[in-house]
A and B are shown apart, each in its own frame.
Chain A
Amino acid sequence: MTEFPLIEVTDLRRTFDVSKPWLERTLARESRQLLKAVDGVSFHIRKGETFALVGESGSGKSTVARMVVGLLEPSGGEVRIAGVPMTGGSHAAERRRLRRRIQMIFQDPFASLDPRWRVGDIIGEPIRAFGVAENRRDVTARAGELLRLVGLDPADAQKFPHEFSGGQRQRIAIARALAADSDFIVCDEPTSALDVSVQAQILNLMRDLQDRLGLTYLFISHNLAVVRHMATTIGVMYLGRLVEVAPARQLFAAPRHPYTRMLLDAVPDLAMSGRPRTPVQGEIPSPISPPSGCTFHPRCGLANDRCRAEAPAPIDGVACHAVAEGRVPELRASA
């Protein structure tokens, strides 16, 4: 692991226009409605590490993932991969080369594999597209190797996706992600569509591959248990903003932001320590009309007038006035 950050995300922003069609809007005298899905997110990932983005539904984590891989144009900010900005006019040739190093594993393995294609062709597509291997024999051989790597049989290349279970399909998706020798994989909730019993297998496979191939992951999840198993560093997202970024161990041991604490308090306690669970209070507000100031203030027990008026800037990985002012009570010892 080098100190050189492979991925640098700076002040990433994305707004979606969710207004009604022009005619309807004009007739109803409504203004445009913009949804700030991602609002100034910055983080960096070092080679070989796993950066996890956690947050409730609608916090913008998938949008960040799609912007990082280039499926979605950012409205503002910048994604740099190996120092090369992925947006803007210059560096087109370098960007094409870098594209090959970035792959994505999608949430739903039933939608991410073309149902009409054989598994061998699905895995072969990036191999061909990036010219890793040209002739049919080499592509087949490479696809077979990849299937073996993810724990499937090379003969499975002749089958269609519907002949596989969810976990096996996700293995195929992983094989495809690795097909062009990519070393940065964005995983958008890769296990949330799977049975609990299969989730662990897939996560172990991903960790195993990371160790063997030196992969770097951007790992999106709403499941803190999964994140604990995978992440080096964790970023907690709330309404399009990163509220806390900390090394995984530290975040679980000593969460600082009130929102992080709330999430951790809601995690089921497998040790049966008898500590009372506090369910997550309230719901994430609409990103179309977010609360003023710190967007978390309506759900935060520590909010004061400053929180309602002024958006906090991240200080030492935490964006919270209460933390900055030392108003957050000491954490109970047991955590």
Chain B
Amino acid sequence: MSTPATKGIVEPAPAAAAPKARWRWRDSDILASFLSSKVTVLSAIVSVLLIGGSLLAPLVAPTNPFDPATVDLMDSLMPPRWVEGGDPRFLLGTDNQGRDLYSAILYGMRVSLIIGLAGVAIAAVLGIGLGLFAGWVGGRVDAFVMRVADVQLTFPAILIALLIDGVVHGIVGNAQRENTAFAVLILSIGLSFWVQYARTVRGSTMVEKNKDYVQAARLIGIPAPLILLKHVLPNVIGPVLVILTINIALAVITEATLSFLGVGLPPTQPSLGTLIRIGNDFLFSGEWWIVAFPGLTLAAFVLAVNLVGDWLRDALNPKLR
């Protein structure tokens, strides 16, 4: 194929083929570990179904619960289809405003997911950034960032989210509530979840920065931000990915809790939490489905994502393989 005398120029063909072969092998390795665990496969299917269904809600859902024109108050509080008195139009029944619960769950899930993902994204970027910075610089900067993190860790995330929510509403006023609710929720989750990332990343950064490959990069004059980005970050990101998965589920729960408590999304933009709160009012008057189905969906989603996260943690840890 290649003659050794070709003056040190790498043949393009094997060079291009080699990485592909490698990645296929690596994928299959992780794939095998994935397929060998039935629980993981099932959780992954549930997660994909729920995420897919909610993201494609406008295509999948029979009605649009956000559109007041399609809801009829006459249809309110219908039980699920298979229960006596159920209407074939409403698979899982309707809520107190006559919205189709199945559609509302899909749309609500979408809202919850977007808030969860965006919140976790903010938390991760903030936490990873601060963790890298604190771990690299060390000394007083590190001590300061970590003490702030410690202090924040003594408050439950919900409390911080409530605090941020209160402060923002104090600034913008209640009139703007519906418009700001979305952003406030994302910000609250982002600012209350960053600590975990910062601590994890800071610890690994302190280990990695003393390794010789970082010294070698310093030696050739690579600036510190580039070293952090190109050398340190890829080597500390493993555990972060696991926290990330599990945190998405946690963020969805936090959003649901805040909405349940009434500081989250208003009933006009129902998230899963809002639906559960609405349903809670009717639970003791016999309309169990309004609270049960959103609650079950939330539980299934959180459980499934957590199980996938657990598997990911084991699969990415070479010591456990």
Interface residues of A (CB under 8 A from B): 69-71, 96, 99, 102-104, 106-108, 111-118, 125-126, 129-130, 140-142, 144-145, 148, 154-155, 157-159, 173, 176, 180
Contact = CB atoms under 8 A, between A and B. Distances in A.
Contacts of B19: 118, 158
B299 to A, nearest CB: 37
Given A112-B212, A141-B8, A104 B219 contact: yes
Contacts of A118: 19
Contact of A108 (B18, B212, B218): B212
B8 A145 contact: yes
B156 interface: no
Interface string B196-219: 000000000000000111011111
Interface in B6-23: 7-11, 14-15, 18-19, 22
Nearest 10 Cβ contacts at the A-B interface: A145-B8, A112-B212, A106-B212, A158-B18, A116-B234, A114-B213, A126-B220, A144-B10, A111-B212, A129-B220
Contacts of A71: 215, 218-219
A110 B11 CA distance: 28
16 contacts: A71-B218, A99-B221, A103-B219, A106-B215, A111-B211, A112-B213, A112-B216, A114-B231, A130-B220, A144-B8, A144-B9, A144-B10, A148-B8, A155-B18, A158-B15, A159-B22
Q: Which of A102, A113, A129, A130 has the most C-beta atoms of chain B within 10 angstroms of its own C-beta?
A: A129
B8 A154 contact: yes
Contacts of A111: 211-213
A163 B220 CA distance: 25
A176 B216 contact: yes
Contact of A104 (B8, B216, B221, B222): B216
A288 to B, nearest CB: 21
B224 to A, nearest CB: 13
Q: Which of B15, B22, B220, B234 has the most C-beta atoms of chain A within 10 angstroms of its own C-beta?
A: B220
A144 B10 CA distance: 6
B216 A106 contact: yes
A71 B216 CA distance: 9
Contacts of A114: 213, 217, 231, 234-235
Interface string B165-207: 0000000000000000000000000000000000000000000
Which range holds the interface residue count of chain B? 20 to 34
A102 B222 CA distance: 14
A118 to B, nearest CB: 8
Nearest to A146: B8
A117 B219 CA distance: 17
Contacts of B15: 140, 155, 157-158
**Majority-rule SS of B interface residues:** helix
Interface string B6-44: 011111001100110010000000000000000000000
A182 to B, nearest CB: 9
Contacts of B222: 125, 129
Nearest to B226: A129
Contacts of A142: 8
Nearest to A70: B219
A115 B235 contact: yes
B10 A141 contact: yes
A204 to B, nearest CB: 21
A245 B164 CA distance: 67
Contacts of B212: 106-108, 111-112
B163 to A, nearest CB: 30
Contacts of B9: 141, 144, 154
A69 B8 CA distance: 30
A180 B215 CA distance: 16
Given A69-B219, A114-B231, A154-B10, 12 more contacts: A71-B215, A71-B219, A102-B219, A104-B215, A111-B212, A113-B213, A114-B213, A116-B231, A125-B222, A141-B10, A148-B8, A159-B22
Contacts of A125: 217, 220, 222
Contacts of B221: 96, 99, 129
Contacts of A117: 231
B198 to A, nearest CB: 21
Contacts of A96: 221
A144 B11 CA distance: 10
Nearest to B2: A155
Given A125-B220, A148-B8, A155 B14 contact: yes
A308 B14 CA distance: 67
Nearest to B218: A71
Contacts of B219: 69-71, 102-104
A71 B211 CA distance: 13
Contacts of A141: 8-10
A70 B222 CA distance: 13
Contacts of B11: 155
A107 B19 CA distance: 29
Contact of B10 (A102, A126, A140): A140
Interface in B226-249: 231, 234-235
A180 to B, nearest CB: 7
Contacts of A69: 219
A222 B197 CA distance: 41
Nearest to A104: B219
Contacts of A106: 212, 215-216
Contacts of B22: 158-159
A96 B18 CA distance: 37
A69 B218 CA distance: 10
Contacts of A115: 213, 235
Contacts of B213: 111-115
B138 to A, nearest CB: 12
